[in-house]
């Protein structure tokens, strides 16, 4: 089944410019044990909308490495801008090392 999640998904027009995606279905609440999406969404809202890719990356990096968002299993973070067809990804090359350190 193909699922399309429009950016006009929220009641507030102020929040319809971004979408945070984690490993969980968008239509279900975060599991209590893993609130990454909610923590990240609150961080993005607190920063507010930016007007250029550098500022957007600053927000994403700030929010991605918050406790409760980034885990030892986080491998990459991406920004996708369908308006301009931009796609940028930050790859965590230490993800395997971090995972191995915590699972010995």
pLDDT digits (tens, 9 = 90+) for 25-74: 878 889 998 898 999 999 988 988 887 777 888 888 888 878 778 777 78
Mean pLDDT to the nearest integer, 81-102: 73
Asked, for residue 4, whether it belongs to a domain, the answer is no
**Mean pLDDT of the residues in the chain:** 77
Asked, for residue 88, whether it belongs to a domain, the answer is yes
- Confidence class for position 11, pLDDT limits 50, 70, 90: very low
Asked, for residue 43, whether it belongs to a domain, the answer is yes
Asked, for residue 86, whether it belongs to a domain, the answer is yes
How many structural domains compose the chain?
A: 1
Range of the domain at 38: 13-102
Asked, for residue 59, whether it belongs to a domain, the answer is yes
Asked, for residue 5, whether it belongs to a domain, the answer is no
Contact at 8 Å (CB) between 31 and 24? yes
Residue entry with tokens 């961080």: 43
- Please report the sign of the dihedral spanned by the C-alpha atoms of residue 19, residue 24, residue 25, residue 31: negative
Asked, for residue 2, whether it belongs to a domain, the answer is no
Asked, for residue 32, whether it belongs to a domain, the answer is yes
């Amino acid at each position: 089944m193909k699922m399309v999640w429009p950016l006009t998904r929220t009641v507030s027009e102020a929040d319809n410019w971004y979408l945070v995606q984690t490993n969980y279905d968008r239509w279900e609440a975060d599991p209590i044990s893993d609130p990454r999406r909610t923590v990240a969404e609150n961080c993005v809202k607190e920063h507010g909308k930016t007007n250029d890719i550098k500022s957007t990356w600053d927000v994403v990096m700030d929010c991605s490495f918050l406790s409760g968002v980034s885990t030892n299993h986080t491998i990459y973070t991406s920004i996708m801008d369908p308006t301009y067809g931009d796609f940028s990804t930050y790859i965590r090359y230490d993800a395997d090392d971090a995972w191995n350190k915590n699972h010995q």
